[in-house]
Structures are given as structure tokens and as C-alpha cells.
Homo-oligomer: A and B are copies of this chain.
């Protein structure tokens, strides 16, 4: 069975890559940055190329769905390079293509604050998708970069879904109708997303999963209720797993360089430290337990496979570039 994790924010090293292998992951989208500008983001990609060279027996950076399949068939985990913000563009529309040429395949339009592309889920007033944002969405469509709306505001999300000519993703969030939280997604957003072939990666992250984080069977119940809401074809997994994320990493996520104080987002000022890992999902070695929990909940075999990875793979086939070729997207313009 193909296991795909739609989003992790782990600090990867050889040990964490080994866990990916032991968990049987075919593909995981990693977080190359939250707040970095173009230069910092290139540095982050450079570090990823070094990680790939040093761990080429365990992982490989994938540029196409065929790459994912080839890597998985060779017992390696395919890495999709992603950013949780569009700040890597440094405001340049042409850098969408450059970063795609360098292998970036997933980008969230905003992280936790408004930017030049649109509004975040924590904004009191969501501007909607800006004029630059519309150009970014069109360019991401053209080069085959996944548009991620996980931390994006309601209005900006709806406008991005409407403006995109390809399906888009919420890589790591849950339905707000199940767990009310600004980071979770309204039924309207999720239904629009699904109607256009998009994907939701159901998370287990405690603060946005509420009672469904209590056990793996409660989590499976949340998956089932999400499937009831938007259909089996549009639900996958996005763990938001943060292996080896330290308090310093958390503080950087929370305040970047934009705030003098930490801004807790989905976290809590009363409890600012790193949350203990979920006892039923300490790391990716527990992926097979998710498969079992879905089966136990009553999902049939086809549905289990769909949620565990097949739905993401179908989505990637539609969205990622067909050719493993930096020039391909450019020449199609």
C-alpha cells in the first residue's frame, strides 16, 4: 500500500529519514521554510540537496509523479519540496518558475499573516486573493506547483480555488464543522475544494483535532466524518508531524521577524512549549497503525488505500509537471 504524508514540518536528519522508511512512506511533502525570502529559501534548498546526497539510500527529491513511483519502487521515500509561505518569491512573479526549476513542488500562499498574495486564517479582515496573488496562482498552475491553502484565510482560499485552473490542496487541516478552530476549514471551502478535484490532508495535530486527537480510533472517526462531508476521493493524510522541532524552531514559526512577541497561531500562550507527541503517532513508523485504524472503523480496502496515499497520488498526477525537465514548464507557456 502507498503511504503519502501531505505535509510534515519535521527537522529532517538520517534518523528521521530512517523512520520514514520504517513507516513505509512512499512520499512526504517537507517544509523548506516559513518566513524566508528568496535568498534564504535558496539556502534552504541547498541544504536539502546536501541532505539528499548524504541520504540517497533512503530518500530522493521527486519532481514528478513518475519520480515518486520510481523512488517508492526502489524502497526510498520521495521528498516533495514545499514552502509554507510564498515569501520565497520575494515578490517576483518570475521566481515561481525558477523555484519550480530548482525542484519546489508545493507552496502555501500565506503562512500565519497576510502577505502580498492574500490573507491568512488569523487575519481579522481577509483581503482575498490580491492581483499579485492571481498571477502567482496562474503561474503555479502553469509550472505544476501544488497550491496549499492550509493556513490561508477563508476568502483568499475561496478565491484561490476559483481562480486556479487545477485542483488545489489543504495539505494539513481538518473540517471546522468537526473541530472549530481558525486553522480548520469551513464546509464551504472544503466543498468547493472537492468539487474541483482538490485534496484535504486530515491532520492529527492536537490543537486542531480536539477530541479526535485522543486516540487513533477517534482520529479514524474524524477521517470518516470528513469523508461523509466531501467524499472519499478528496481525503488524504497531512500529519503536520514535527519530529526534532525544538522550542527555538517553534518560536521562529510563531513570530518570524514580523512580531516582537510570539504569536501562537494554533498553539497556546498558556502552554508555549513543544507539545508532547501524540502517544498513538510519535513518528511516521506509526503509519501502518493508521491503516489498521481505518480498517477497524469500517473502511473497505479500496477506501483505506485511497486515504492512505492513492488520493494524493492521483492529485499529484493532475497537478505536478508531467516531465522531469526544468525547461518543460517554461516551453509550454
Contact = CB atoms under 8 A, between A and B. Distances in A.
Interface of A: 38-39, 42-43, 45-46, 49-50, 53, 63, 90, 92, 94-95, 97-98, 101-102, 324-327, 330, 333
Most chain B CB atoms below 10 A, which of A95, A98, A333: A98
Contact of A102 (B38, B45, B102, B325): B102
B94 A50 contact: yes
| Minimum-distance CB pairs A-B, first 9 | A326-B326, A46-B94, A39-B39, A38-B39, A101-B102, A98-B102, A101-B101, A101-B326, A42-B98
A92 B46 contact: yes
Contacts of A325: 324-326
Contacts of A46: 92, 94-95, 98
Contacts of A101: 101-102, 326
A97 B45 CA distance: 11
B42 A95 contact: yes
A45 to B, nearest CB: 7
30 contacts: A38-B39, A38-B42, A39-B39, A39-B90, A42-B92, A42-B95, A42-B98, A43-B92, A43-B94, A45-B98, A46-B92, A46-B94, A46-B95, A46-B98, A49-B97, A49-B330, A50-B94, A53-B333, A63-B327, A98-B102, A101-B101, A101-B102, A101-B326, A102-B102, A102-B326, A324-B325, A324-B327, A325-B326, A326-B326, A326-B327
